[in-house]
Amino acid sequence: MNSPNHCLPHPFAPFQGSIRKVSGKLLMYCAAAVSWFVILGAAAAPAQSPPPSPAAGLSSWLQGQYMTGDWGGTRSALETKGVTLRAGYLSESAANPSGGLRQGATYTHQVDAGFDLDLDKLINLPGGKIHVLFTERAGQSLAAQSIGSIISVQEVFGSGQNIRLAEFSYEQSVLNDRLKAKLGWIHASDDFASSPLFCYFQNNGFCGQVAIVINSGFTIFPSGSWGAVLRAGIYDDFYLKAGVYEVNPTLSLAANGFKLGTSGATGVIVPGEIGWQPVLGPAALPGHYRIGGYYDTSDASYLGSPIGGPQSTMRGRWGFYFQADQMVLRTGPRSRPGLDQGLTVLAVAAYAGPDTALLQYYWQFGFLQRGTFAGRDQDTIGLAVSQVRVSNQLVASQNLANTQLPGSVAVQSAETTIELNYRAQLTPWSSVMPNIQYVMQPNAVTSIPNALVLGLQVRLTF
């Protein structure tokens, strides 16, 4: 884009048309960049030192935490003062050489920029933090355009294909972090039924929220809403968590990236979760176990309404879930949490009320091996399978419609996805993850051929 109304020319030319529709909102996105420069002024300029040799400079860059480096010590100085800047790029490409509605290939991405403020360091407020994040998403969905599947094969697509304010929150911890509260513009999907280990996959049935919350009222990143969450650590390995979030379907619309008002709200969703985080055996094998549920006070369409006839609504949407990840074999020394080398088993099971939830059942099972070959300690291999099953109320309505007019409606059942991937951690700030996915019964119907999907995820931390 060459318009003077934008901070920088947009590097993704194929999507200029769609992004130009929200060009007025780019001023807010520019504000994220401006805030970085304002914050930079808080850091004192480091003393000048002789420049490193080209070889030493390249090695330092490749081993650094960020693609843009430490900015001559400015970044470290800011973090010491309590200001952590963060930005990243994530792209997911996918193609289906066989199966689905038709053959195709798509690309989608997310660029994010924001900062975290440690108020203990900045203003002597122990346990206080402020989080701000802006995101830009663009691209197309292979699932929607070519496969016809319920679950996206590119988890970064959706929930706001635009530029938006993703988070603006205040966090406070007390009692040695035993009690934590967060409120502001946040996401239920980040706070409940969430684990970073599941996002070592590209398919949205594995990475992101538990699939049953697709039409539950959960706010799903990057589309936030007003909310609050409270976490109480009862013991070192046991916690309770509860929250309340605005339910507002209009917030994910492309034109509402910076809508902060509550017009369009239909109710609130109240999730709760119990978590156990053991470290088992002499090998100190880490695990995370979560049991939770939610209730959305909104009115929702009754899926048992006759197809083509009068549609009715019901009050409330609800569901339960179980989520676990447990390392079962350690293949390297203990490291930072989440970076331990070894084999981890992943599992999810969930159920939602069939009267109002499109997906009644969901399960997932998989393996993640961190540390693959000699010298590849942070590479991973992932293999997982998941299945979603459509509401029995909706299926009953589809069958009823076919008794009145045979063959008029495709009867849905279940959609199953398998993914195998290899994530190569090229540097601490970059990774590439080629993957193969296989979608069986796309859209949970037998009329769409099973689809083979070839994918590639690229991740950069700026």
pLDDT score recorded for residue 217: 85
Work out the widest C-alpha separation in the chain, in whole angstroms. 83
Question: Two tokens at 316?
Answer: 């409330």
Q: CA dihedral in degrees (301, 307, 312, 313; nearest 10)?
A: -10
CB 10 within 8 A of CB 16: yes
- Could you identify the residue written with the tokens 């990236």? 257
Residue 14 lies in a domain: no
Q: Is 16 within the bounds of a domain?
A: no
pLDDT digit string (tens) for 340-360? 899 999 999 999 999 999 999
- Answer yes or no: is 18 within a domain: no
> Is 150 inside a domain boundary?
yes
Task: For 370-397, give one letter per residue: b (16+ CB within 10 A) or e.
Answer: bbbeeeebbbbbbebbbbbbbbebbbeb
Tallying the residues shown for the chain, one arrives at: 462
Indicate if the alpha-carbon torsion angle 366, 371, 374, 375 is positive or negative. positive
Q: Decide if 315 is inside a domain.
A: yes
- CB contact at 8 A, 386 and 444: no
Q: Is 17 within a domain?
A: no
What is the per-residue pLDDT for 50? 56
Taking CA atoms, 40 is separated from 8, 77, 84, in Å, by 19, 9, 10
Report the CATH number at residue 338. 2.40.160.180
- A 10 A CB-CB count for 181 gives 16
Domains held by the chain: number: 1
Q: Is the dihedral angle over the CA atoms 61, 64, 67, 69 positive or is it negative?
A: negative
**Helix, strand or coil, per DSSP, at residue 225:** strand
In-domain check, residue 12: no
**What is the DSSP-derived secondary structure letter of residue 51?**
P
CA–CA dist 188, 7 (Å, integer): 31
Domain that includes residue 447, residue range: 24-461
**pLDDT computed for residue 20 by the predictor:** 38
Residue 1 falls inside a structural domain: no
pLDDT number for residue 283: 92
Q: Which helix (H) or strand (E) holds 398?
A: helix 392-404
Mean pLDDT of residues grouped by 10 in the chain (462 residues)?
A: 37 38 43 46 46 73 92 94 97 98 98 97 97 97 97 89 95 96 95 90 86 78 95 95 96 92 95 96 95 95 91 93 95 79 96 94 96 94 97 96 92 97 97 98 97 98 96
Residue entry with tokens 């130009």: 20
223: tokens are: 């589309």
